[in-house]
Amino acid sequence: MSILIETNYEGKYRSSTKTPLSEERIAVNAARFNPVDLLASAYGSCILGTIDWEARKEHFETTESKSEITYDMSEDGSKVGKMNIKIFFKNDYTPEQKAVIEAAAKTKCHVGKSLDPAIEKNYEFIYKND
């Protein structure tokens, strides 16, 4: 099933996007919050949702988690070259649960699997973050 994402370019590096999930349009001003920022945001959201999905299949939850993603553009500035992904959890988990969490983050997220494999990805998992 195809999902329609409609984006209108308004000029001067501004656009707005409508998704089937919201009545409100997402506004982007590339001078302040650019489309690559949206990519990183989508990746962080996907990672957290994927982790929780996999955790629930193993009968535990990862609510109150948070991601922080920084990125660097490639040397020529034409694409993302490197992403540093930090994932924070309010709770601590058993070694088995941590293995589920970390595998989900690194290998099961749809957005992550769609990214260019040449992008260097560094993951850091921080447990029992108060």
Segment-wise mean pLDDT, segments of 10 residues, the chain, 130 residues? 86 86 82 85 95 97 94 95 96 97 97 96 90
Domain boundaries, the chain: 1-33, 35-126
16 to each of 9, 42, 79, how far by Cα in Å?
7, 16, 22
Tokens found for residue 102? 């970390």
Looking at residue 130, its pLDDT comes to: 58
| Close Cβ partners of 123 (under 8 Å, ≥ 6 residues apart) | 85, 86, 87, 102, 105, 106
**pLDDT score for 54:** 97
Class in CATH terms, 35-126: alpha beta
Structure pTM?
0.86
pLDDT at 92: 94
